[in-house]
Structure 1
Amino acid sequence: MAKVTVVGSVNRDVIVTVERLPVEGETVLATSTREGIGGKGANQAMAVARTGTEVTLVGAVGDDEAGARLRSVLADAHVDVSALAAVTGTGSGTAYVFVDVDGQNQIVVEQGANAQVVLDGPALDLVRSADVLVVQCEVSDQVVAEAVTAASAAGTRVVVNLAPYRSAADVVALADPLVVNEHEAADLLGRPVAGATDVRAARDELLALCRTAVVTLGSAGAVLVTPDEVVEVASPTPPRVVDTTGAGDAFVGVLAAGLASGLSLRPCVEAAAAAGSLAVQSPGAGSGYPAFHLPRG
């Protein structure tokens, strides 16, 4: 059975709805507040699970009430949480998410237990035995590097979501694919990247850094870059946009699930773009994801 291991963050999301996002120095009034689950690791793991693919999350929560709730939500979503540690004396990570009426967001994250994720022997075994490893950058650089190195040595395919952006050349070099948005691609390349034309122009630069790359373009879809082709993949237009939080994580999770099931990269990106479009139609991130469907191989 196809199997994905995600090494990453788990957060308690505090979601504040506003008429419009504040500008610098401005105070705006909230129209509602609610809590949910987030963190790129948790979101991506739940997106994998929504495809029916087996997935294990390696991460950490606090030994607090929030940590127990987060663990329960993940387990209910069919994510294996056997490698999700509870860190004594530390609170769970918390993300403060501000969402406007158009579904756009601003996010501030307190790392909490995510800063104390470690890879012990059993966790490394989960990395090595997976078909696909997924990492992001909301846990320590050391943990990300250890996971990617172990996976690559074992023949596990590595999906690196370089978000939030960090300089990590050794990790990026093993990515197949590297997944970045336009802002992260610009940080990586040291120059502006805006739209598919700029991604096409950066083909050789990207392939000098990683094995394959996917640059996401929000509602415009994504661009797949491989040694053989550069392909623009459109994103289906959603009938409504409720909340864009977690759309990129849905993209990454479905892409990884497709790779684990044996699909080639292009149909995985197409399925991922469709998943991102579906994700924005529901409030919240991982716990609000609908079922995602993979194409037949």
Structure 2
Amino acid sequence: MTDDRSQDRPRRIVVVGSLNMDLVLSAARCPEAGETLTGHGFAVHPGGKGANQAIACARLGAPVAMVGRLGQDGFAATLRQGLLDAGIDADAVGTDPSLASGTAMIIVEDSGQNRILLAPGANAALSVAAIDAEAERIAQAALLVLQLEVPFACVERAIAIAADAGVPILFNPAPAAALDAGLIAKIDYLVVNETEAALIAGHAVIDRASATIAAGILLSMGARHVLLTLGAEGALVADGAGVRHYPAFPTTVVDTTAAGDTFIGGLAAALIEGATLDRAVRLGMAASAICVSRPGAQPSIPFRAEVVLAD
């Protein structure tokens, strides 16, 4: 949890997470088992939840450093350059010469929905020792951002380092996984979608009412703020001030890839600027609405100048 030491540290976000190359095929719909369909578009884009969130934080106005692993292959140079082009400190993104970089196969339906299959590659080689080597970087962060596309032991260790140093923690437990209350109690901002919330809270999320119950359960498990994204239905925030619903910004959905990562980027960037949680949520939602109107993961993430909020 936060403490007074956070007031003296450099205002930089540290992201611990994955870097993947996304191989994206567009089609009217996903094939059924045993069925072959012809798609109508193919593209290769840098992605990975960790890198997407780092890029989103940077484009939306925050200084960022990333901790992760790449393989020794052609994808690695492109993924690293994407971070550097965004102004991200990639010194803690190591290279494993024995592995390929992470890869994601993504089918995007004409409805805008997507289905993703991951090959973790070098992401799975990130070690607790590597996290310990970056302990000072993490302990000096203004905010630590994490997901679950790297080994869970690395996530636990990074959270422990940040909690001990009084660094605020934003945790997006995706892909969905069960978590214990002891870990959740260290989290300042728990960001989940319906699937993740249902699994962790043990309560199905099918509408706004059930989302409110699930958010309350997660809050009771110790998280300081719970942010539950609901797609076209917007988002819920539960904290000591109660539960608030934020309607989604109007948009035309082309591809939902990286929508949640963009929301987190806007949220995190605004928070380290000292914005209220209300404004930070609205910035994240506005940025996400732009993201889903464009194809691809990182190519779809907007820059801060594109995101306009009414005061």
Asked if these proteins are the same fold (TM beyond 0.5), I'd say yes
Residue 97 of structure 2 corresponds to residue 88 of structure 1: yes
Residue 43 of structure 2 corresponds to residue 34 of structure 1: yes
Which residue matches 2:284? 272
Which structure 2 residues correspond to residues 201-240 of structure 1 after superposition, within 5 A? 201-209=213-221, 210-238=223-251, 240=252
Judge conservation of contact 2:292–2:300 (CA < 8 Å) in 1. no
Which residue matches 2:300? 288
Following superposition, the deviation at residue 201 of structure 1 comes to 2.7
Which residue matches 2:57? 48
Residue 135 of structure 2 corresponds to residue 124 of structure 1: yes
Which residue matches 1:75? 84
Judge conservation of contact 1:51–1:294 (CA < 8 Å) in 2. no
- Matched residues, percent identical? 37
Which residue matches 1:113? 122
5+ residue gaps, structure 1, are: none
> Take 1:146 and 1:163, find their aligned partners in 2: how far apart are those partners?
17
Residue 266 of structure 2 corresponds to residue 254 of structure 1: yes
Which residue matches 2:109? 100
SS at match of 1:91: coil
Alignment-mate amino acid for residue 253 of structure 2:
V
The TM-score with structure 2 as length reference comes to 0.91
The TM-score with structure 1 as length reference comes to 0.95
Residue 149 of structure 2 corresponds to residue 138 of structure 1: yes
Following superposition, the deviation at residue 121 of structure 1 comes to 4.3
Following superposition, the deviation at residue 2 of structure 1 comes to 2.4
SS at match of 1:29: coil
5+ residue gaps, structure 2, are: 1-9
Q: Deviations over 1:38-77 (max 9, x none)?
A: 1000000000011121001110110111111110112112
SS at match of 1:148: helix
The structure 2 residue matched to 1:191, chosen from 203, 208, 217, is: 203
Instruction: State the Cα RMSD in Å.
Output: 1.7
Displacement over 6 Å in runs of 4+: 294-297
Alignment-mate amino acid for residue 137 of structure 1:
L
Alignment-mate amino acid for residue 41 of structure 1:
G
Alignment-mate amino acid for residue 140 of structure 2:
S
Following superposition, the deviation at residue 107 of structure 1 comes to 0.3
Judge conservation of contact 1:128–1:156 (CA < 8 Å) in 2. yes
SS at match of 2:295: coil
When residues 142 and 296 of structure 1 are mapped into structure 2, their CA distance, relative to the original with a 3 A threshold, is farther
Following superposition, the deviation at residue 206 of structure 1 comes to 1.8
> Take 1:121 and 1:193, find their aligned partners in 2: how far apart are those partners?
37
> Take 1:263 and 1:205, find their aligned partners in 2: how far apart are those partners?
26
